[in-house]
C-alpha cells in the first residue's frame, strides 16, 4: 500500500542535473499526492534555484528550501524538520532513478521490517575513455572493497549491510537516535548508519532498486573527493564517539604508512627497505593486472593506463587523507560539544 513519503534532495549548483533528477523522481510509479519533494538548496549561484522554482510551479508536490550553511548534513536535517511523512527518502541530485526505485524501497522498508533501506548505485560512464575509467574506478572491488551498493551483487535477494546509498528511513529512526551530525561535512551518513546499527537497527540493500550516478570526472576533483572522504572518516573522531572505520577504510592508511616506513628504512636499513619494497611491487603488479583485465573486458586497451592512475589515486589519496585526518584529530583533541570549523583546513572544508 502506498504511503505518504518525504523526499529530501540536498543540492548546490546542480543546474546540469537537478532537472533530470526531478524528472526521474516524478516519473516513478508513485502517487504524486502522497509525495512531498523538498529540494534543500545551499544557496546556489547558477540556475539551480530557478529550475527548481519552475518545477515547484508545475508540480504541487515540489518545493524549495534554503540551506544557508551550504553543507549536506544541515540540508538533510532541514528537510527532515520541515516534513511530516512517516517515510523519509534521501535522493542525490547527481543521479537518475528507475521508475520502480521509490515503490520498491518504500514497500521493502515495511516488508523487511528494517530501519533504513537502499538500492544499487550504478555509475553512468561518459563518452570518453577517461570518463569510462572513472566509472570503473568508483565501482570496482579493487578500488572500493566490499561496498556492495557500489560494486553490485549477484542475485536479487535483499541482504543486510552496514550502509547504503542515500537511504530510505522510517521517521521513528530520527526520534530514536537523533538527526545527522552537522559537524561532519562528509561521512555524516556513515556515522548515522553506525549509530543506527549500534542500537540494533537493520539496514537492507535491495538489488532491484537501481539508480544511475554521474561522477565528477576531472582528475583534480577525483583526487579531492577521495582525500576528503577519508580525511573526514578519521577526523570525525573529534566530533563523535561512533565507531565508523572498517577494514576497507584501514587498509589504505596502512598502505601509505608502509610506504613512509620503507622510505625511512631506505636511509637507515637498506636491506630491510628492500624487503619492505616487495609488497609495494606486488601492489603495482596487481594494479596493472586488474587495469588491463578491466580494459580488455571493455575492448578499450587505452583505458588501462587511466585505470592504473585512478586506482592508485584512490588508494594513495585515501590513505594520505586518512593519516592527515587521524593526526589532526589526535593533535586537536576531542570537540564533541563544539565544532571549530576555522581549525579545519580549507582543502577539506569545502565540498568537492
Q: Give the C-alpha separation, 8 to 85, whole Å.
A: 11
Domain membership of residue 223 (yes or no) is: no
Q: Which of 4-8, 83-87, 210-214, 233-237 has the lowest mean pLDDT?
A: 233-237
pLDDT at 60: 96
Long-range CB contacts (within 8 A, 24+) of 18-24? 18/48, 18/51, 18/52, 18/93, 19/51, 19/55, 20/96, 21/91, 21/92, 21/93, 21/94, 21/95, 21/96, 21/97, 22/52, 22/55, 22/62, 24/96, 24/97, 24/98, 24/99
pLDDT at residue 293 tops 90: yes
The confidence band for 127, taking pLDDT boundaries of 50, 70 and 90, is: confident
Q: Do residues 30 and 2 touch, judged by C-beta distance below 8 A? A: yes
Q: Give the C-alpha separation, 73 to 79, whole Å.
A: 10
Per-residue model confidence as pLDDT tens digits over 52-88: 999 999 999 999 999 999 999 999 999 999 999 999 9
Per-residue model confidence as pLDDT tens digits over 233-249: 888 877 777 776 666 77
Q: Give the C-alpha separation, 69 to 344, whole Å.
A: 16
For 178, the domain range is 5-217
Q: Give the C-alpha separation, 126 to 195, whole Å.
A: 36
Percent of the residues in the chain that have a pLDDT greater than 90, as a whole number: 53
The confidence band for 151, taking pLDDT boundaries of 50, 70 and 90, is: low
pLDDT at residue 340 tops 50: no
Whether 51 and 152 share a structural domain: yes
Estimate the crossing angle of helix 219-235 against helix 303-332, to 10 degrees: 30
Whether 265 and 155 share a structural domain: no
Q: Give the C-alpha separation, 303 to 310, whole Å.
A: 10
- Contacts for 318 with CB less than 8 Å, ≥ 6 apart: 226, 227, 229, 230, 252, 253
Whether 180 and 265 share a structural domain: no
What is this structure's pTM? Answer: 0.85
Whether 196 and 57 share a structural domain: yes
Domain membership of residue 224 (yes or no) is: no
SS3 35: strand
**How much is the mean pLDDT over the chain?**
87
Comparing 205 with 153, the larger pLDDT belongs to: 205
**Cell match 527548481: residue?**
52
Whether 252 and 211 share a structural domain: no
Task: Decide the pairing of beta strands 5-11 and 87-90.
Answer: parallel
The confidence band for 8, taking pLDDT boundaries of 50, 70 and 90, is: very high
Domain membership of residue 227 (yes or no) is: no
Per-residue model confidence as pLDDT tens digits over 131-141: 889 988 888 88
**Number of domains the chain contains:** 2
In sequence order, what are the beta bridge partners of 117? 168, 204
pLDDT at 140: 85
Domain membership of residue 40 (yes or no) is: yes
The confidence band for 146, taking pLDDT boundaries of 50, 70 and 90, is: low
Amino acid at each position: 500500500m502506498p504511503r505518504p513519503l518525504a523526499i529530501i534532495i540536498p543540492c548546490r549548483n546542480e543546474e546540469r542535473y537537478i532537472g533530470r533528477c526531478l524528472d526521474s523522481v516524478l516519473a516513478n510509479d508513485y502517487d504524486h499526492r502522497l509525495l512531498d519533494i523538498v529540494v534543500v538548496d545551499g544557496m546556489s549561484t547558477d540556475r539551480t534555484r530557478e529550475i527548481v522554482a519552475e518545477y515547484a510551479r508545475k508540480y504541487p508536490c515540489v518545493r524549495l528550501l534554503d540551506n544557508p550553511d551550504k553543507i549536506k548534513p544541515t540540508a538533510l536535517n532541514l528537510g527532515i524538520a520541515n516534513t511530516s511523512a512517516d517515510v523519509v527518502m534521501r535522493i542525490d541530485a547527481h543521479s537518475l532513478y528507475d521508475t520502480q526505485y521509490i515503490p520498491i524501497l518504500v514497500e521493502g522498508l515495511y516488508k523487511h521490517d528494517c530501519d533504513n533501506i537502499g538500492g544499487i548505485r550504478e555509475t553512468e560512464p561518459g563518452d570518453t575513455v577517461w570518463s569510462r575509467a572513472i566509472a570503473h574506478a568508483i565501482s570496482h572491488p579493487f578500488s572500493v572493497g566490499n561496498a556492495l551498493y557500489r560494486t553490485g551483487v549477484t542475485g536479487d535477494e535483499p541482504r543486510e549491510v552496514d550502509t547504503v546509498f542515500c537511504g530510505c528511513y522510517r521517521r521513528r529512526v530520527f526520534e530514536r537516535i537523533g538527526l545527522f551530525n552537522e559537524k561532519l561535512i562528509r561521512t555524516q551518513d556513515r556515522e548515522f548508519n553506525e549509530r543506527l546499527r549500534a542500537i540494533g537497527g537493520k539496514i537492507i540493500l535491495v538489488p532491484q532498486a537501481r539508480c544511475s550516478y554521474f561522477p565528477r570526472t576531472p582528475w583534480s576533483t577525483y583526487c579531492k573527493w577521495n582525500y576528503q572522504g577519508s580525511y573526514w572518516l578519521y577526523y570525525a573522531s573529534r566530533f563523535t564517539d561512533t565507531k565508523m572505520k572498517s577494514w576497507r577504510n584501514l587498509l589504505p592508511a596502512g598502505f601509505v604508512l608502509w610506504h613512509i616506513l620503507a622510505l625511512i628504512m631506505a636511509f637507515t636499513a637498506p636491506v630491510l627497505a628492500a624487503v619492505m619494497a616487495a609488497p609495494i611491487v606486488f601492489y603495482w603488479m596487481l594494479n596493472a593486472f586488474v587495469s588491463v583485465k578491466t580494459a580488455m573486458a571493455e575492448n578499450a586497451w587505452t583505458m588501462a593506463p587511466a585505470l592504473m592512475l585512478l586506482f592508485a589515486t584512490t588508494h594513495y589519496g585515501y590513505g594520505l587523507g586518512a593519516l592527515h585526518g587521524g593526526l589532526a584529530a589526535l593533535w586537536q583533541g576531542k570537540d564533541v560539544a563544539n565544532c571549530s570549523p576555522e581549525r579545519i583546513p580549507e582543502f577539506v572544508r569545502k565540498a568537492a
